[in-house]
Amino acid sequence: MNKPAVSISLSSYGADLVRQRGQGSFIEILAAAGATRIEWREELLTVEDPAQLADAAQAGGLESVYSSPMELWLAGQSKPNPQLIAALQRAQAFGAKWLKVSLGYFTDNSDLQTLARVLNESAVQLLVENDQTLHGGRIEPFQRFFTEVEQHNLPVKMTFDIGNWHWQDQSPAIAARLLGRHVGYVHCKAVSRRADGKLVAIPPAASDLHQWENLLQHMAPGVMRAAEYPLQGADLAQLTREHVAVLAHLGQSQRENAYV
């Protein structure tokens, strides 16, 4: 049975370290750890050359996801964010098969036909993520968006960020039940509330992994998943290897039981 594709969001290693070392320096770590994909982070880029990173990732046996902080829909505008075309082009320059963006301000006036034309001219698949905002981090706008996506038969999937739902007091379990069939990428992160009341991403405990197993039951078997929580320690290679193995195993027990 094939193992699910596991990605690592490079933000997991900490913004300061990633900017200091450059994103290309993590290719070898991910490849050695058994990851299948690498998630480039646009907001952490410094002087990296897209073509060099694309070639190096391919040589390391890694496929690429390109993450942009842009919102697909801007407030008060019916047409998609005009930056989308450039973002798709940047993703392709980095050798990425997927571009991850946030939903933004989706409304009933949002122009899906223009979005369709833009996407038809790109080989990169769009992944739309629930972020931590009131307008882009709640279940209902995603339900409406993907109803429209289905009606227009658009090549768009969802990035389901497990942890981000907590920023808007949304239930990941309800979100998975209502949106799971649209998911093409899962951002895995546990969440904790600090003493000052701020929510922060943390590595998963056993209880988190059990919850993630249940969420994945609502999604396609073997859906691509990524670590997007702190991977910080003296031996990044070993730490990454351990977490890649854990994420690859998620959902596999249910699949194996289905064949018994």
**Could you read off the pLDDT of 152-191 as tens digits, one per residue?**
999 999 999 999 999 999 999 999 999 999 999 999 999 9
pTM recorded for the entire structure:
0.95
Taking only the tens place, the pLDDT of each residue in 222-245 is 999 999 999 999 999 999 999 999
CA angle 69, 136, 108 (to 5 degrees): 120
Do residues 18 and 10 lie in contact, with contact meaning Cβ atoms separated by under 8 Å?
yes
Asked if residue 126 lies in contact with residue 80, where contact means CB atoms within 8 angstroms, the answer is no
With cut-offs at 50, 70 and 90, classify the pLDDT of residue 253.
low
Enumerate residues 6+ apart whose C-beta is below 8 A from 141.
Answer: 103, 106, 135
E strand intervals along 42-95: 63-73
Amino acid 251: pLDDT: 86
How confident is the model over 187-212, as pLDDT tens digits? Answer: 999 999 999 999 999 999 999 999 99
Could you identify the residue written with the tokens 């995603």? 142
- pLDDT reading at 108 higher than 60: yes
Using alpha carbons only, how large is the chain's radius of gyration in Å? 18
* Residues near 259 by beta carbon (within 8 Å), at least 6 away in sequence: none
Q: Homologous superfamily of 6-258 in CATH?
A: Divalent-metal-dependent TIM barrel enzymes (3.20.20.150)
Alpha helices for 136-181 (secondary structure H): 139-151, 172-179
DSSP letter string over 10-44? GGGG-HHHHHHH-GGGGHHHHHHHT-SEEEEEGGG
Burial tier of 108 (Cβ tally within 10 Å: 0-12, 13-18, 19+): exposed
| Rounded Cα–Cα distance for residues 137 and 249 (Å) | 27
Q: Is the pLDDT of residue 256 over 80?
A: no
Determine the Cα–Cα distance for residues 175 and 180; give it in Å rounded to an integer.
Answer: 7
* Angle between helices 172-179 and 206-216 in degrees, nearest 10: 20
Helix 50-59, helix 84-93: angle, nearest 10: 50
At 257 the pLDDT is 46
Domain range list for the chain: 6-258
* Pair of tokens at residue 143: 């339900």
Distance CA 45, CA 39 (A): 12
| 3-state DSSP percent of the chain in helix, strand and coil, to 5 | 45, 20, 35
Helix (H) or strand (E) holding 108: none
